[in-house]
Amino acid sequence: MSANPCPRLFEAEAMRDGRLTGPERTSFERHVAMCPACSREVQALEALAESLRASPPDHTAADELHVRRERTQLLAAFDRALLGPRRSRIVGHRLRWPAAVAALVVAILFLPRVRRSAEAPAHASSAVVHADSTAVWAERMVGNCENVVLERGALWIHVDHSSREGRLLVVLPDGELEDIGTTFTVSADDGHTTRVAVQEGHVVLRLRGQAAIALGPGDTWIPDSRPVASARASVVPSADPAPTTRIDRGERRTPSPRSSASSAASPASDPSVDFRAAMAALDVGDNHQAGAAFADFLGKHPRDPRSEDAAYLRVIALQRSGDSAGMKQAAIEYLRSYPAGFRQADVEALSR
């Protein structure tokens, strides 16, 4: 290896790091123009930086479902932090291990399937938006997420998730609405969300300062200050933060008279949508609903590859909801159906 061809070579890095300023920098810049060795060094440093800046393939990149779950957990953690450390500690201790186990299990068992599906021919998610005459709205991409920004007016949105795990977020003046494979209508006016009605599938409504609300098929949400006589709001507040507005529960439902869990039992019931809906309920802390939704999933899709996950997560959901008898029964059913299941040891402990 030859010695440095120029005694000022070290200044190339010094300049790059901001250590050369004023006359020293000017002097070196003039020198670089005349010195091939220093010029090469400056270029080599820039090339090195350029190779680092070149976006690397992220081999640890998470799938869309995982990202959505991470996002939901982040917002829930933020909610808990706002509500005060004492309660969050209690809830945290109680839920940390089941939540960690459930997240781990789902990550291990569900991620490979999602990745496999990603290897199939690429499908674009498809969202159809109908807007009324007063609507002021736009769409934008934020990362991989399709955002529909609604300022005012009403939108009817249908998202087809049959091709892939797509994601669509409606950004509202006072919060956001996350689609989980669905057809729904959302309205906003005067800086506030005024109505959300779900025809198919599920959505999660997050309004600033309020707990997340899961809405299922046939549910209509109308804010507290608005008339609600004609609406049936099968709205589910999050288990963690108490909502700051009253949740009204009407009795009229369109188009189906069945409950959220059973209404999905239509002939066109999609296992992926049902599973996502159950996961969404678990994510937002609606553990009763999650337990029912996982049971519903198992009843409708007993041969689905996710049925063991669903059976296990049903146990977790019932445990979180405090339903000990239900949890034990669900644990016994899991062990009966999956005597050599992946979570056999965990579930056995819960069944006693």
Query: What residues make contact with other proteins under the rule CB under 8 A?
Result: 13, 17-19, 44-45, 48-49, 51-62, 67, 70-71, 73-75, 77-79, 81-82, 124-133, 135-140, 142-143, 145-149, 151, 169, 171-172, 174-176, 206-209
d(CA 139, CA 147): 6
- Could you tell me the smallest distance in angstroms from the CB atom of residue 323 to other proteins? 28
Q: Is 49 helix (H, G, I), strand (E, B) or coil?
A: helix
- Could you tell me the smallest distance in angstroms from the CB atom of residue 62 to other proteins? 7
Do 180 and 203 form a contact (C-beta atoms < 8 A)? yes
Neighbours of 104 (CB within 10 A): 10
Residue nearer to other proteins on the CB measure, 182 or 263: 182
Residue nearer to other proteins on the CB measure, 206 or 253: 206
* The Cα angle at residue 112 between residues 111 and 116, in degrees rounded to 5: 120
Q: Can you read off the two tokens belonging to residue 84?
A: 């005060």
Bridge partner residues of 177 (DSSP):
170, 205
Residue nearer to other proteins on the CB measure, 31 or 66: 66
d(CA 261, CA 295): 9
Residue nearer to other proteins on the CB measure, 53 or 336: 53
Contacts 24+ apart (CB under 8 A), 265-269: 265/296, 265/299, 265/300, 269/300, 269/301
- Could you tell me the smallest distance in angstroms from the CB atom of residue 43 to other proteins? 13
- Which amino acid does the sequence have at 312? Y
- Which amino acid does the sequence have at 328? K
Give the rounded distance of the alpha carbon of 95 from its chain centre: 19
- Could you tell me the smallest distance in angstroms from the CB atom of residue 203 to other proteins? 14
Residue nearer to other proteins on the CB measure, 74 or 349: 74
Residue nearer to other proteins on the CB measure, 61 or 345: 61
Give the H or E element holding residue 59: none
- Could you tell me the smallest distance in angstroms from the CB atom of residue 161 to other proteins? 14
- Could you tell me the smallest distance in angstroms from the CB atom of residue 159 to other proteins? 9
Contacts of residue 139, defined as CB under 8 A and 6 or more positions apart, other chains included, come to: 129, 146, 147, 148, 149
Bridge partner residues of 183 (DSSP):
158, 200
- Could you tell me the smallest distance in angstroms from the CB atom of residue 139 to other proteins? 5
* CA 277 to each of CA 89, 213, 214, 273, 280: distance values in angstroms, whole numbers, following the listed order: 27, 13, 9, 6, 5
Residue nearer to other proteins on the CB measure, 157 or 261: 157
3-state helix, strand, coil in the chain (%, to 5): 45, 20, 35
Residue nearer to other proteins on the CB measure, 128 or 324: 128
- Could you tell me the smallest distance in angstroms from the CB atom of residue 241 to other proteins? 9
* CA 184 to each of CA 164, 172, 201, 286: distance values in angstroms, whole numbers, following the listed order: 19, 14, 8, 21
- Could you tell me the smallest distance in angstroms from the CB atom of residue 130 to other proteins? 5
Residue nearer to other proteins on the CB measure, 207 or 313: 207
